[in-house]
Amino acid sequence: MRKAVIIGAGMTPVGEHWKLGLRDLAVEALLNAMDDAGIDRVDSLYVGNMVSGPFVEQENLGALIADWAGLGNIPAVKIEAACASGGAAVQEGVKAVLSGLEDVVAVVGVEKMTDAWPSDATRYLAYAADAEWELFHGASFVALNALIMRYYMKAYGYTEEDLALFAVNAHANGAKNPYAMFKRPIKVETVLKSPYVADPLKLFDASPVCDGAASVIITTPEKAEELGVPKEKWVEVAGMGRAIDTISLASREDLLTLKAAKVAAERAYKMAGVEAKDIDFFEVHDAFTVMAALSLEALGAAKKGEGAKLAKEGQIAIDADYPIQTMGGLKARGHPVGATGVYQTVEAVLQLRGEAPSQVPDAEIGLTQNIGGTGSNITVNVFRRV
């Protein structure tokens, strides 16, 4: 079977980009990635995006971005899997390369969220939930995660303070990332004193509404050599997995198991020939602090019910056994929803090249996990230093 390597990575800072639109952000990230790889053409483009229609009245992002990036008459499509759109777009790009149909593929994840009124943004994000049985009742995405958070705390005896540690860790790492939205460390008190958005979930348990784009270029080792991309730049896409779970929370068999992440991780580990203990860093989907805990459990880094214990024991810091959110995660880097999975990929690439601002020492293997919905659509990717 062919192998896939990432040979270029680029992004824009995450933030409130009043002066830049969706196309500006996407084109900037894409050209950064192409420049990083030293190429000026690609065979195809996959765009990860969640809700551009409601947010900026723009669909057909494949045509828009390929056109404005000057890529010519290539195939280009948008891939949507809620907040996991970015991770899914990376996988579609890798699949195209592995299949042999395309040799050099560009992936860009983009979301432009700050043009919308906040309560409308809340509504659009809830489109990832079940429209008739969740949004109909006024459920925001934050509210659905708050239901999980309260249940998790009750089931295992954790406090709001325990879960706040995930936000503190994310901010500590994000403070060093020039592309992060929040470049300042916070304390547990900062989280606890922030207002409730949906009790017991507070503002600082949640990732921000923001804009951003990230991009990677994928090809085969043979083609990378032919293109003259130096080997130090290559990062192998070693494993991939993707799975769904019930779209509505009420139908979930177990509120405290991210079954889709579990299944996706099993596939990705198997394809890469690794186990959870081999992973040097985890970029998990901490859109809400409780999701970081549940993710660590689903990925096999912690036993069921012990994800938050890992944070309490100081195991998630850069120099600990299970470093997570090495460049700030969704919480501090920011969570431009459909772009997030590609940001995670770019950050994994930087770690494995040894170019990360807060570097995990001797990182060889990294994992990204991108959650769509309340755990209903999840991608897991494993990357390895070449």
Residues in touch with other proteins (CB under 8 A): 117-120, 122-123, 126, 132-140, 142-143, 146-148, 150-151, 154, 195-201, 246, 248-252, 255
Bridge partners, 371 (sequence order) = 378
Shortest distance in whole angstroms from residue 17 CB to other proteins: 22
Ramachandran sector of residue 361 (left: φ over 0; alpha: ψ -120 to 50; beta: rest)? beta
Asked if 335 is an active-site residue, the reply is yes
Distance from C-alpha of 17 to C-alpha of 58, rounded to nearest angstrom: 17
Token pair for 219: 């090809």
The secondary structure element, H or E, covering residue 211 is: strand 211-219
Asked if 17 is an active-site residue, the reply is no
Shortest distance in whole angstroms from residue 210 CB to other proteins: 16
Of residues 14 and 197, the one with the C-beta less far from other proteins:
197
Of residues 133 and 185, the one with the C-beta less far from other proteins:
133
Distance from C-alpha of 163 to C-alpha of 156, rounded to nearest angstrom: 12
Of residues 253 and 362, the one with the C-beta less far from other proteins:
253
Residue 272: is it exposed, middle or buried by C-beta count within 10 angstroms (0-12/13-18/19+)?
buried
Is residue 114 within 8 A of residue 16, CB to CB? The reply is yes
Closest CA to 166 of 379, 349, 309: 309
Of residues 132 and 362, the one with the C-beta less far from other proteins:
132
Of residues 69 and 191, the one with the C-beta less far from other proteins:
191
Which of 17, 171, 285, 335 is the catalytic position? Answer: 335
Q: How big, in percent rounded to 5, are the helix, strand and coil portions of the chain?
A: 40, 20, 40
The secondary structure element, H or E, covering residue 295 is: helix 289-298
Ramachandran sector of residue 159 (left: φ over 0; alpha: ψ -120 to 50; beta: rest)? beta
Which of 83, 171, 210, 285 is the catalytic position? Answer: 83
Shortest distance in whole angstroms from residue 144 CB to other proteins: 8
Shortest distance in whole angstroms from residue 251 CB to other proteins: 7
Active site residues: 83, 335
